[in-house]
Amino acid sequence: MGKRMVNVNKLILRKFRNIAGSRYEEILKAYREFLLTEEEMIIPRVESVLVALDRYSGEIPAQIFRLLEYYSPQKIMVIYVIDNSTCRLIRDTLGEEDAQKFRERENQLATELLGKIEVEMREHRLNWSCDVVFAGKTEYIETIVEKYDVLVIGKQYGSESTKTHHISPLVFRIVQHISKPVVLY
């Protein structure tokens, strides 16, 4: 790291040599935050990946499958989360029959999406498993991601995007509350 810092210092000295000392220190500090250290440039080993899906996530882009193929993790877990609070709300307001229809429709959506993912996973020769769960969308992902090295999640997980927000509020919350690396698609 010392050699890297010397290079950064030389770069900044050459660029800003005629600037007063205190201003130079401010510039040095600001640029350090944008330049990677040698430790940050090392690609971490990825053994396990969690892929979070729901009705809003959509299909996983081909680039994600190529990225997974590149890292070739030992374990890829694809989880389709059905919001249990929505199901409970439907049951409480419309009745058990409508709640059952909602669960069946969500399971059908999950099955269709997981079927498409299965084709891609086989094509890329990736070792994966999947599950469909009824849970709180953010709390469940924030808890289970601790068992994995990386989280892959769609920008629209939890809600549809709008003209003003291209990333759903649930994704913002998840990214802010976990310490694992995240790949957004």
CATH of the domain at 117: 3.40.50.620
Nearest in space to 121 (alpha carbons), one of 185, 52, 53, 75: 75
**pLDDT given for residue 29 in this prediction:** 72
Quick one: 170 and 155 in the same domain?
A: yes
Structure-model confidence comparison of residues 8 and 105, the more confident one: 105
Nearest in space to 137 (alpha carbons), one of 68, 55, 38, 17: 55
Nearest in space to 4 (alpha carbons), one of 37, 46, 47: 37
Q: Which domain holds residue 123?
A: 48-184
Q: Is the pLDDT assigned to residue 3 strictly greater than 50?
A: no
- pTM for the model stands at 0.75
Residue 18: pLDDT band with limits 50, 70, 90: low
When divided into structural domains, the chain yields a total of: 2
Quick one: 105 and 37 in the same domain?
A: no
Distance from C-alpha of 110 to C-alpha of 120, rounded to nearest angstrom:
16
Alpha-carbon torsion (34, 35, 38, 44), positive or negative: positive
Q: Is the pLDDT assigned to residue 162 strictly greater than 70?
A: no
Tens digits of residue pLDDT in 19-40: 655 676 776 677 766 666 677 6
